Each structure stands twice: as C-alpha cells, then as structure tokens.
Amino acid sequence: MSEPALRAEKLDAADELAALRDRFVLDTEADRGTDVAGVYLDGNSLGALPANVPDRVADVVRRQWGELRIRSWDESGWWTAPERIGDRIAPLVGAAPGQIVVGDSTSVNVFKALVAAVRMAGDSRDELLVDATTFPTDGYIAESAARLTGRTLRAVTPAEVPKALSERTAAVLLNHVDYRTGRLHDLPALTAAIHARGALAVWDLCHSAGALPVGLDEHGVDLAVGCTYKYLNGGPGSPAYLYVRSALQDRFDSPLPGWNSHAEPFGMSPVYTAAPGALRGRVGTPDILSLLALEAALEVWDGVSIAAVRAKSLALTDFFLECVRAYTEPGRVECVTPERHEERGSQIALRCPDAGEVMKRLIARGVVGDFRHPDVLRFGFTPLYVGFRDVERAARVLGDELV
C-alpha cells in the first residue's frame, strides 16, 4: 500500500464527520460491479441524495397530495414552507431566523435582490458594480437590472472593488467563491468597503453555503442569494433562497410583487401591500415537491458544526493536492485554486490542455468531477460524505489517466 493510501486510512479513522456518510445514497462496489466504489467529487454542481429524502417525497406525493389534497396547505404546513425552510438554512450561513425565504431560482433571486438594492440606495446613485469573474447568469441578470433601473453597469474583479467604489455606486454583486477556480473572496473586508462608500452589498453564496462559514449577520451583509442543490444537497432544480437583513426588510421593495408576498394574499386586493419581513421575497405559489424534498435533505445537517465542515474541507483539499503531486508528473497539471486556506473554497481546479478528455476517462473509472471550458478539471469536496480514501483514489486514478 502506498504512503498516501496509508495516510488516508489514518485520516478517515480520525474523521469526526465520517459517520455522516451513512446519511447519503452513494455508490458501492456492488453498484459499480467492481471491487472499487465510485468517488463522487461533483458536489459543487449537484450534491448526493440524502437517504431520508425518497421516503419523505413519497409521503408528500401519496399522503399529503394524494389523500389530504388542498388541506395540506394548512395541515401539512405547505403554506409556511418557504420561511420555515429558510430558518433551517439560516444557521448554515450565519443568519438569525426570519431573514431567509426559500423559493424561485438563484437567477430570479439575484434579480429581486439587485433591483431592491438599487431602490434602497436612492436615485443619486446611478452605477452598479458586478463581479467580472461571476457565473454568467449573475452578469446577465445584473445587466438587465441596470437597464431596468436606468443605472450604468460596470464589471470589476473582486480585488478591484475597493478602488472602483464611489458615491455613484448603488450596489455591488459579488460571488463568495469563484465557480471556476474555487477562490474564496474576502466577504467581511469587501462588505465593509462597500458600506464605507454608502452602497449595498449583494452576495451570491452558491459555492460557499454548506461548505464553509459565511457570517451574513456578523459581517452586515445586506442581501444574499444562493442555490440549494450543491453543498446543501437539495436535489436537481431545488429552490434557491433570498436573505434580506432584518434592518432592511421594511425598505425591501421587490420588483416581483406577487400574490404570495402580499400582506393579505387571500384578500385578492387589486392594490399591492407588502407582507412584513422576509416574506416580501416570496412571489408566486411555492414549488412544494422540491421545497419539501429540500426540507428533508437539510435534516442531514442536524448536529453538524459548520466549523467542523470547514476544517474537514480544508483537510480534504490539502490532502488531494498532496496526492496529486505524489501521483502525477511535475508540470502535467496546474492548480488554479489558491493554496492559502483563507483564499480557498471547497473545490480544487486543475488546468491541463486535454482536460475534457481526461474528465471523460475519470468518470468512466468512477471518479466523477466536472470539466470547465476550456481546460479545467474541477473537483468539489463535500465534507459530509467525501472521505480521505476517496481523495487518495481520485488522485491515483487521475495520475493513471494523465500518463
């Protein structure tokens, strides 16, 4: 047995989160028809299935929908699901209850947050800043929000934000973790810089929530959005969430004032009156099947410390880089993820010229990561179910395929 493999066994034996793996449906040797289990390192695109979800969804479909039908809006708690599930997400992103509502997609919530931020900033501030390295959808939405509100949009890198800010700046949309490289941006410092110039900070948490501490309340973030199908394991297309800091909720003016965010949704008034609190972030009828699948999925976090998750995430990614260096020829791949812990999310991105073909071969051998155009191999490490032996095997197979 190789030295990295021996180290992996010792690290797994000492892992305080190892037992959480049993809360998920993962490949076994029997599933694959081999003597080696698969390694799932694509949790930053789609988290694994929590084992309790299928039975919960079956109950929602067969009993709550099939038997109770319309009564389930009250008797099964369907109506209050968006804010109830928001309160389950809140501790994972460092927020007190009553500030997160779940529903719609990340893109829709980015639109709500940006337009509302511009409205709160006032007419004298005529510029929006957006992360130039952002996931494309955030950029598209920011451009549309700027056109809609008559603002100018300027794309800058997170490092350029402090110097780019001015009295013209209404709001800044930033990603907490870069989706390609895994670089973790300095949310506390950037939020403070934005506030110092009188603007509002809007953060996209898609690649950080459930992988590392965020501290929304602690750092005074104004608005935040995030998806739930990555590190929160909510399932494909599971609804996103919107955070509105409590001090701003009475000023939050949504550009999508649907009936579900009305103060009296069943009054059917022709005049819109916003509901109090984070409920203003609701729009239309909640997508109950996905919402309740997500609610069940979030139970895997019961008793789990996000600090412990972060510690394991860093240990996993450190060990992966060590193993890659041990199993691959020098210079064959280049790590584009920062090695400094304070600048790293929970993924490792490796650059190589034939990355697309390499990833296909890795997946064929049961090591599932993903490819980012044009030359990046991306591996996401979900500490709740990824172990150190998984990491060692992934690096060893990668070394084989890079020969």
Give me the residue label for tokens 């350029």: 160
Under a CB-based contact definition with an 8 Å cutoff, are residues 205 and 184 in contact? Answer: no
Candidates 40, 179, 229, 319; catalytic one: 229
Alpha carbon distance 54, 60 (integer Å): 10
Is the CB of residue 174 less than 8 Å from the CB of residue 224? no
135 is known as an active-site residue: yes
Q: Which of 111, 135, 381, 388 is catalytic?
A: 135
Among residues 378, 379, 393, 396, the one annotated as catalytic is 378
Query: Is residue 151 annotated as a catalytic residue, yes or no?
Result: no
The answer to whether 378 is a known catalytic residue is yes
Contact 20, 300 (CB under 8 A): yes
Q: How many CA atoms lie within 13 A of 162 on its CB side?
A: 10
Give the active site residue among 131, 204, 287, 370: 204
Structural tokens at position 309: 């998750």
**Distance (Å, whole) CA 231 – CA 249:** 27
What is the DSSP code string of 308-363? HHHHHHHHHHHHHHHHHHHHS-TTSSEE-S-SSGGGB-SEEEEE-TTHHHHHHHHH
The whole-angstrom separation of Cα 322 and Cα 19 is 24
Residues 6 or more apart whose CB falls under 8 angstroms from that of 14 comprise none
**Annotated catalytic residue within 23, 88, 183, 230:** 230
Residues tagged active-site: 135, 204, 229-230, 378
